[in-house]
Structure 1
Amino acid sequence: MNDALRFSQADLGNALAQCAGYVAASPWGSPATLFALVPTAVLAQQAPGVVDPDDDSVLSPVVQESGDVDLETLLTTVSWPEAVVGCAIVNEITVLPPEAETTLDDAFEPFLADPDAADAAALDAAHAHPERREARLIAGVLRTGQRLALLSLRATPDDEPGIESDLRTHPSLAPNVLDALASTF
């Protein structure tokens, strides 16, 4: 789609912020949410009642029903029509401080012969770590190669008000998730 070439990194960021806003209304503990990213002009043309006439966003996220399918299966089986110029996912994760790496290594090393057991041990260690933080990872890609991942930390009683509305990013945030999303095109 030639129009996809006109989408900027900022357009992707704005669409991901919309995804984050949509999921913010969901309770913590909700399953991952997958979104198709569609040019707002195309969506307005094909489904005029869906788009607010005052919506000036370039891309519109459209929630995809995924049922009870796990995230890995979902990302390996989804395919998109040409009108979809990108996709995004919002998934809850546990964030640990860098110094927790040793704790995780110690937890899963005895199980390296069994990858499932090693993953389970690492998850248990992460969930038991006293400095863990729950967060929502918002990751998205466009067909043209733009990629972006954002992080929204769950507020704790010690946090300043509004922490959950803060979106953070880093160039090396969630490369595997971004690769998995890109592989759906």
Structure 2
Amino acid sequence: MTSSTDSAGAGFSQADLGNALAQCLAYTAELPWGSAPTLFALVPTAVLAQQAPDLIDPDDDSALSPIVQETGTSDLEELLTTLTWPAQVVGCALVTEITLLPPDAEADLDAALEPLLADPAAADEAARQAAHAHPEKQSARLAAGVLRAGKRVALLALRDDDAQSADLQTHPDLAPNLLDALADTFHG
């Protein structure tokens, strides 16, 4: 049985969370590009081994195990504002596709958005279309994860159809709004 500290995720490190996110990205790497975002519950591997031993490889020494969640919705904002987790879930992660643009692309986006600022939905769609049409765009998968205890990590895997493994990148300011939304699922 785990202690209440462990069930809150306090006993897990930033590296444990990063390793779980790398597992999430490895899972989604098998999915085709254009797939819907994938949500994961993060459960202590020791708890999962006790409750469902046939789901865990006996040689698995990871601290956290990601478990894919069937969401039944494509509205990510609605999902994250209504989501709650049972006590055994010490964290959660989301992998979604994003489009990266070079810094000088801001002028192109501003030109596409300016006539539509009165209509936020139209402005969002125009921004999406301008980003996808930009000749220097780069696709990536973003994995963002949080623990109940407050630890946060976001990893970025750039799309490279020729590479056998993704080069994962992170930055302290990567995806703060998504990390906040995931953290809020534990405080709702």
Instruction: Report the Cα distance in structure 1 between the residues aligned to 2:96 and 2:21, rounded to whole angstroms.
Output: 12
Cα 1:156/1:46, change in 2 over 3 Å: closer
Q: How does 1:34-113 map to 2 (within 5 A)?
A: 34-113=39-118
| Equivalent in the alignment of 2:179 | 178
What is the DSSP-based 3-state SS (H/G/I as helix, E as strand, rest coil) of the residue aligned with 2:54? Answer: coil
The number of equivalent residue pairs is 181
Q: What does residue range 94-173 of structure 1 map to in structure 2 within 5 Å?
A: 94-155=99-160, 161-162=163-164, 165-173=166-174
* Whole-angstrom CA distance in 1 between matches of 2:16 and 2:102: 31
d(CA) in 1 for partners of 2:40, 2:161: 28
1:2 aligns with 2:5: yes
RMSD: 1.2
User: SS at the partner of 1:6?
Assistant: coil
C-alpha deviation, 1:156, in angstroms = 5.4
Structure 1: runs of 5+ lacking an equivalent: none
> How far apart in 1 are the matches of 2:30 and 2:88?
27
Q: How far apart in 1 are the matches of 2:56 and 2:21?
A: 17
2:73–2:79 contact (8 Å) kept in structure 1: no
Q: Please say if residues 37 and 96 of structure 2, whose CA atoms lie closer than 8 Å, have aligned partners that are also in contact.
A: yes
Unpaired runs of at least 5, structure 2: none
* Identical counterparts, % of pairs: 69
| Residue in structure 2 matching 1:17, options 7, 18, 22 | 22
Partner-residue secondary structure (3-state), 1:117: helix
CA shift digits 1:141-179 (9 cap, x unpaired): 00111111111111156xxx44x5111111111111101
Separation in structure 1 between the aligned mates of residue 48 and residue 69 of structure 2, nearest angstrom: 15
Write out the 4+ residue segments of structure 1 that deviate beyond 2 Å after TM superposition. none
